Amino acid sequence: MENTTSNILKTGFIINEKWVILEFIAKGGMGEVYRAHQLELKRDVAIKVISQSWLESLDDEAEKETGLQRFRREVQAMAKVQHPNVITVHDYGATVIHQNNKEIPIEFIVMEYLPGGTLRSTMDREGFYPDETISREWLRNYFLPVIDGIRALHEAGIIHRDLKPENIFMDGSSPKIADFGLVRSKWSKPVTRSMAVFGSPIYMAPEQFFDLKWANEQADIYSLGKMLYEAVEGATAAKSHPLKSVYLNSVESSFFKAIDQIVRGATAEDKENRIDSVNRLHEYISRCLKDEKKEPFFKVLSGGSRTKSLQRRKWKMAIAGVMAMFVLMATVGFYSPGIIENNQAGSAAFEPFAQESTFIEQQPVIHPQIQPPAGQNTDTFHQLNDIDGTVGLSCEPGC
């Protein structure tokens, strides 16, 4: 457990004569979370406050107020959704604590306490492949309920923007979505001042990395696609490809071919080519679990001649072997393992349950330096600190 000497709340502290702090749980980019006991109802709860060390790191009072606005927006978003796969908010309040002869005002969220770990505990670090039975069980018991929770958020006009296994807590065998620190809601007033926000580049959509306010519901779909990819391929593979489209390295069975198509559709770098809603994502996975004979689920359609040329290359590769592979590398471009580069001509879309598909053999080479999507402001790029941790973004007015 982290050293608690810098934590704002100490064990035994009583908030507003209602909640007694039992222990420190964790600290994130902006918040500190504690386990507390609600005296009147005799139940344990989780209490989240803004980290004082984070507030002290900000340059001026205006930035601190922006941080508090974002915290309040998290409460408002969480309180609007009642769903078995979304964590429940019990209360919100403010108090003043005395520390080092100073009065420190704090605001806090009181949530249900879920001691069962996170979705990470249901995943195998090495990935489920090639075990189809375990993969199906995980999809049915854990991943589809997560999609149900995200669907409830989207129907309420809320985009999470920070989905990852560590932000999904387990209530027994039921996953519950938490940590709404980066949510965007149609009811919330925009945070109008630039500030640094945090997220994980492993699961973050490219458009969100370069400009947070570009992230819509499809940013959550990208994150879900990356989580599905990690569940099948393993944590090491997922960490190797931040901000990129991915595919399964081996697809021998019809089931994993279908999952591969879903992963490709969910993690398309250009959101215009991405699966457009969690309803569709849920439908595709549900049909995959029902052993549908029509597979794969998608075929790439193009406004130009790309699809036909890819089909011709595939045919040539089948009869010409090495020569056709050379043609593919020379004409299509280079692909790194697990990456689908967005160098298609024209606009592409995914057609569900196509009778045929275009499978592209990928060639392992180094992918080019990541560039922001067309039309996005490169000034919003701040820095990528560590693909295992968090990343700083510059959030422009309105995000």
pLDDT single digits (tens) 330-353: 443 333 333 333 333 333 445 544
Assign domain 119-395 to its CATH architecture: Orthogonal Bundle (1.10)
Would the pLDDT of 318 be above 50? no
Q: Rounded to two decimals, what is the model's pTM?
A: 0.72
Helix residue ranges, H only, the chain: 52-56, 61-79, 132-138, 144-155, 206-210, 217-233, 235-239, 254-266, 278-289, 306-320, 322-332
pLDDT tens for each residue of 228-250: 999 999 998 888 889 999 999 98
Domain boundaries along the sequence of the chain: 4-112, 119-395
119-395 shares the fold of 4-112:
no
| Reduced DSSP (H G I as helix, E B as strand, rest coil) percent helix, strand, coil of the chain, to 5 | 35, 20, 45
- Report residue 312's pLDDT band, with 50, 70 and 90 as the boundaries: very low
**Tokens at 46, concatenated:** 């989780």
Question: How confident is the model over 118-136, as a mean pLDDT?
Answer: 96
- Domain 4-112 top-level CATH class: alpha beta
Question: How confident is the model over 247-264, as a mean pLDDT?
Answer: 94
Question: How confident is the model over 161-170, as a mean pLDDT?
Answer: 93
The neighbouring-strand residues paired with 15 are 19
Q: Is 162 a catalytic residue?
A: yes
**In this predicted structure, what is the pLDDT of residue 261?**
97
Q: Give me the catalytic one of 44, 91, 148, 162.
A: 162
- 318 or 176: whose pLDDT is higher? 176
- Distance between CA atoms of 254 and 268, rounded to whole angstroms? 21
Virtual torsion, Cα 394, 397, 398, 399, nearest 10 deg: 10
Would the pLDDT of 215 be above 90? no
